[in-house]
Structure 1
Amino acid sequence: MNVRALNRALLARQHLLARAEVPAAAMLGHLVGMQAQAPLAPYVGLWTRISGFRQPELAALMSGREAVRGLLMRGTVHLVLAEDARILRPLVQRVVANGYTGHFGRRIGTADLDAVAGFGRDLLAQRPRTRRQLQDELAARWPDQDAEALSYAVSYLVPTAQTTPRGVWGSTGPATLTTLEGWLGSPLASAPSLEDVVRRYLRAFGPASIADVQAWSGLTKLREVIEPMGLRTFRTESGELLYDVEDGLLPDPETPAPARFLPEYDNVLLGHADRSRVLPPGRRVPLPPGNGASRGTLLVDGFYRADWRLLPEGLVVTPHARLTAGERAEIEAEGAQLLEFLGAGDGEIRFTGS
């Protein structure tokens, strides 16, 4: 398979060739969650994939605890269905825990991390707490230790959820943590199937190599899991072996791909070890700060070829290279819909840079 064939397969499975007419919950489940460090980013991610999607649909899922934000794949914040949080967190727990050591190894000190995790779990089970509140109580218990590092130990070692109203469109609130089990009102899965999750990943991101699955999940040593699964296989032009589900979409590589605005951190750009199926050579994925729904990336003919940002006066598009008149017109039409979705329908669309 060549790069263009992989690109069109990815776009089709991500519903970026044509918007789907499905509920937000169904799309969220199909994608096996959405990257959500920027809490409002998934709203744009669903808008670009679902025909007629509006913010209250996802806001209701989050307020009703049918969808939840927490540390999951790659040890990063994802928005997933509640039922998927119960499955995914046990599978990636060691990834999340290892991430704590990697980020805070020099600051851990001499505190017993099991004791810290247990103390923190009890605190969060009593009531949700902000990072600062958790840090203050840990400082009182371990006054000679780095309280900030200990507060992160709790969120990395204890399965937690970020509570609403944070992440609910039109609402505000600090990042507040509670136990994942307490927020969902049910225990985490005791024996989740990694094979099932691999199949779901392939259905949304494949065909993919073992390295791709590992890059998306953060897990390692997946060869021993994937090779016995009886998946269909392909070879790339360079000879790399790719795995796929039997019913995975494989559109004609020449299928037209419309311009699509993606939010910050969209997994279509981050879900593979080999990102050449969507990133041009030398191009890296930007990782901007912020609450989301204000900037992102733009696919043109299926590949990342521009950035966008919402400003008070409207939408600013910064291409990486010259666009054709037809491409600019297509971006303007799609951008006008994005402005309307973001409540800035009177704004202008301006191109800058190349």
Structure 2
Amino acid sequence: MAVPPSSEDLLITEDLLRRSVENVLAVRECQIHGAVIAYRGQLRLAPPRALEVLQARFRPLGFTPFLREDGRGEVVVQAVPLAETTEPQRVGVNVVLFVLTCLSTLVAGAGYAGSPTFDAFRSSITGTLFVSGVPFAATLLAILVVHEFGHYFTARHYRASVSLPYFIPAPPPFPFGTLGAIIRMRSPARDRNALFDIAAAGPLAGLLVAIPAFVLGLQWSNVVPVPVLTHEAFGQSGLTQLLVYLRFGSLPEGTMVYTHPMADAAWVGFFVTALNLFPVGQLDGGRIAYALFGRSHALIGRVTLIGTVLLGLAAMAVNVLVWGGTFAASLNWFVWAALVFFLVGVHHGPP
């Protein structure tokens, strides 16, 4: 990380920055807040072009430019000490985490390998139950890899520095074998448009794998009597219900679709994508909300968390009062709301 200029040479730096700014912004006012220098005025160029020019000029001086409207018809150009991680990335950490995630998803996948339709694979892959987790693990990892590299290549397109994906293994008793993956932004997105594209690219890319995988998995799934169910059933979204209907039509009463592990993995991909699109904090949805609504994103995040808790209360009431279930079986919404609040938060910083 670049070292901010000391107070002795800050005024000299301000003079150099002002010269870099003056033919881009008609400067009306300059303010210095610590090591951050802000210029207020009217842009002489279109915002995308202005930002491109300022980035090229500020970087040799050790600063990153940020543009924002001040709500009074003027633009503020902030010069922030270089907001970019320059130390080399330790790729070995990424590799180790990916290998561990492969192992943990194989273990999880073995638990979904009891479907009668899994026999179609046994003629080509023999071995232990551990190996039988391959269809689930390979499908889920493919969805996650494509999702994360959707972010990665879009960020590189916008010349933002990003890390390789860090996969997060989750051994038993966690049922999916992974908590997903993350990519570190090693430099900020150049503007909100770039931030929107970077954030949206991952979920869209992942769905391009998850939807065909679910359709293919349904080809190896069977309609069975409900009593055959030996593990907890997954919930159904509108998308999965539509795809099941297109494959099997209306199911006879007292039957259900016993899904192939590939379809199970695709369902997990849908689930992870849906969680990631919560408009909260540093999640993909939070970044999209910030790109679209600016400072209002924090309010949207709070409303989302409150809505999640209310959904949990409604689900609990239906489960206990209508179906005769227990309170403990209705805690999912509260768990996800707590994880998002404590691990992610509701605020997203500037791009």
Q: TM-score range by the shorter chain?
A: under 0.3
TM-score by structure 2 length? 0.22
TM-score by structure 1 length? 0.22
- The structure, 1 or 2, with the larger RCO (C-alpha pairs under 8 Å, 6+ apart) is 1
Query: For the pair shown, which has the larger CA radius of gyration, 1 or 2?
Result: 2
User: Which structure has the highest helix share of the two?
Assistant: 2
